[in-house]
Structures are given as C-alpha cells and as structure tokens.
Amino acid sequence: MLQQWADRLSARHLAALEPGAVRLHRRRIYILPTVHGLFFGLALLVMLLSAINYSNSLAFILTFLLGSLFLLSLIKTHHNLLGLVLRCGPSRPVFAGQTAMFEINLHNPGKRERYDIIAGDDTVLPILAADSTGRVLLPVQTHQRGYISPGRVRVSTAYPLSLTRAWSWWKPECKVCVYPRPETTAPPPVKSGLAGSGQTTASRPAQGDEFAGLREYTPGDPISRLTWRRQNAQGMPSLKQFHDQVDSGLWLTWESVSHLGDTERCLSRLCQWVLECDARNERYGLVLPGEQIEPASGSEHRHQCLQALALYRSPQAQRN
C-alpha cells in the first residue's frame, strides 16, 4: 500500500516522452523503506527502548550498530541506481494479440558493479559490470493494430539487504509496430490486376521472341538485330526490338476484400495474404484506399505492406 501510494505520488510530475538516452541523477531517484525495512525499524525502536529502560550498554551498542547498518543499506541502495544511463534498443514488430518485447539498454558508466536492477514489474538484471551495458526485455501485451509504446517504465532496486527500495520513472520514446491479426481461415489470394483491371503481366525490353517494333540504330546495338528493309534518311538500317512477357506479380487489393464489410476483417485477410505470398517468395503488391505499394518481394517489402495495414485508417476515420 505504501509503495503504491509512493508510485502515484512520484509519477505525477513525470515528463512527456523522453527521446534518446536518459541519465538517472539524484532528483530522479526516490527511496523508501520496504515492508522488511519497516519491521526492522520497529525492532530497532523496541531495542532502543529496552536499552534505555535497563541502561544496558551492550544493548545500546547493538541497537546503534544495526541502525548504522540500516543507514548504510539506504545509501548503497540509492547509489545502485545513481548514474545509470537508460536508452531504448531495437524492438521487433508483432501481430495483434502477441506480446511485444521492448528492449531496454542499461549502461553503467561507473567503476563499480550494480546488482539486482529491476525494469518494470519483474524483469531483473542480476549484475551489471562496471563500464558495461546490460539488456532487458520488457513484455507488453498487444490487443489492437498500430503503434504501441511501453508507457512509463519503473527502474528500481532493493539491493543489498531489501530494507529500502529505490526507484525512478522513465517514459521512453520508443514504439513497436503491431500488425493486424492474420485471418487463419482466409481463402487463397485472389489473382487480379491493378484495381481490377485484370492485367497481371508487364513487358520489358529483352532478347525474347515477341516483336515490339523498330527504332533507329545507335552505336553499341547488336548487329544481329539490324534490318535493312527500313532505312532512315541517311541510309542507316533500323533495329528490331523484342519484349519478354514478365509476370508483374499478384495485386492484393482492397476491392477484393471489401465485401467482408468490417474494416478489421478486411485488414486481417489482407495480412494473411501478404504472409502467404511472402512464404511462397512470390511478387505481390498492395492497393489500399489512397495508397499503393508496387509489387516486390523480400522481408523489407513484407514489412512495408504489413506496416501499411497496421496504420491504415478508413476515409471515415480520417474525416473525423
């Protein structure tokens, strides 16, 4: 109860998102006795009253010795956090419903080791060597698509005797992209052209068999493709051009899923189609209202398409 009240009180003046690295200075660190520390202090009070009542020198010595131990523990706990440098590390995107893992890097610039650093509620870094950086993963459960941030993060420690607890708040400017939840029962992708045009092929100049026309000869063109049947005004031959028919890839369009009605269901089906095309290493493009991604393949293209689905806003939502 005391810790919860102290958390609410200490987090009231927490600033907005803090970009970059943050160093924990004295004004950012709070410290209070733990439950064990309160009972320890109560025991010291009883011992002190008994020593006064009986005028026992040994009882005085023991009471003051244990009291000094409590003060030293308080100082050590405070110094265990003082000077730490916090920064965000890279975090991987996840799908809605999965747990996002935020990477938190803690750098110890001092010449002494740090022990039992806790990030969040229960993520513990047992030891942090001098002039080194430790990494902890902070789990955050996701429920909907878009960007998600860890919110305010509490970094705390009760080292060395768990009699006192020191903590500091941090609101990092880091976020993870949450993709839509894929529809596991989705039918195979509908093979269609751009915006329903039905065209899924494109031509490119090549040494194919399909004749594409003539053009004037330029130095460096292959001699085997020259034709003397058509000459220009200077009597130079023309050059035959050929094209290969190349599959331009599969277009995943909003029109092919619009019959589902619900926006989230449409995005979930498109998300599943993107994953299926990527698993087959097939070229595919994505067409959303107001956005078009040209056909390609690979992990970067997959992330680009899934990110577009994660950040999609319907025209009605944009007007609102």
Q: Average of pLDDT values for 301-309?
A: 95
Q: For the ranges 14-18, 73-77, 137-141, 233-237, which has the lowest average pLDDT? A: 233-237
My answer on whether 258 and 216 are in the same domain is: no
Same domain, 20 and 48: yes
Beta strands in 97-200 (DSSP E): 99-108, 114-119, 123-128, 132-141, 146-148, 153-157, 164-170, 176-179
| Cα 70 from Cα 73, distance rounded (Å) | 5
Answer yes or no: are the C-beta atoms of 92 and 179 closer than 8 Å: no
Shared domain for 44 and 124, answered yes or no, is yes
Q: Supply the pLDDT for residue 195.
A: 42
For residue 131, tell me if it sits in a domain. Answer: yes
- How far apart CA 107 and CA 130 sit, in angstroms, is 9
Residue 241 lies in domain: 201-247
User: Is there a single domain that holds both residue 119 and residue 265?
Assistant: no
Question: From residue 312, how far is each of 79, 155, 265 by CA, in Å?
Answer: 47, 35, 13
The structural domain count of the chain equals 3
Q: What is the DSSP letter of 254?
A: S
Q: 214 in a domain, yes or no?
A: yes
pLDDT of residue 12: 73
Res 6: pLDDT: 75
Residue 187 lies in a domain: no
Q: Indicate the pLDDT class of residue 196, thresholds 50, 70 and 90.
A: very low
SS3 state of residue 253: strand
Per DSSP bridges, beta strands 94-95 and 176-179 are: parallel
- Asked if 256 and 219 sit in the same domain, the reply is no
The closest of 122, 117, 128, 112 to 159, measured between CA atoms, is 117
pLDDT at 233 over 90: no
Q: Residue 168 and residue 198: Cα distance in Å, rounded?
A: 59
pLDDT of residue 180: 96
Are 119 and 100 contained in the same domain? yes
| Statement: residue 121 has pLDDT above 90 | no
Please check the confidence at residue 238 and state whether its pLDDT lies above 80: no
Q: What is the mean pLDDT of the chain?
A: 84
Residues of the chain above pLDDT 70, percent: 79
Q: What CA–CA distance (Å, rounded) separates 42 from 150?
A: 38
Helix 263-279 and helix 299-310, axial crossing angle in degrees, nearest 10: 180
pLDDT tens sequence across 147-176:
999 988 999 999 999 999 999 999 998 999
pLDDT band of 246, cuts 50, 70, 90: very low
How confident is the model over 262-284, as pLDDT tens digits? Answer: 899 999 999 999 999 999 888 89
pLDDT of residue 13 exceeding 50, the answer is: yes
pLDDT confidence bin for 67, thresholds 50/70/90: very high
Q: How far apart are CA 188 and CA 71, in angstroms?
A: 68
One domain, residues 106 and 170 = yes
Identity of residue 136: V
C-alpha 110/C-alpha 82 separation (Å) is: 10
Phi-psi region of 225 (alpha: psi -120 to 50; beta: other; left: phi over 0): alpha
C-alpha to C-alpha distance for 10 and 19, rounded to whole angstroms: 20
Residues 130 and 63 in one domain: yes
How do strand 237-247 and strand 284-288 relate by DSSP bridges? unpaired
Angle (CA) 14-19-21 rounded to 5° is: 95
Calculate what percentage of the chain has a pLDDT beyond 90. 58
Residue 184 in any domain: the answer is no
Q: What are phi and psi of 22, to 5 degrees?
A: -130, 130
pLDDT at 291 over 80: yes
Q: Residue 274 and residue 263: Cα distance in Å, rounded?
A: 17
Distance CA(86)–CA(90), nearest Å, equals 13
Place of tokens 């920064």: 87
Dist. CA 275–CA 112, nearest whole Å: 48
| Vertex 83: Cα angle to 82 and 87 (nearest 5) | 120
pLDDT digits over 48-60, tens only?
999 999 999 999 9
Tell me, yes or no, whether 17 and 127 share the same domain: yes
Q: Is residue 39 part of a domain?
A: yes
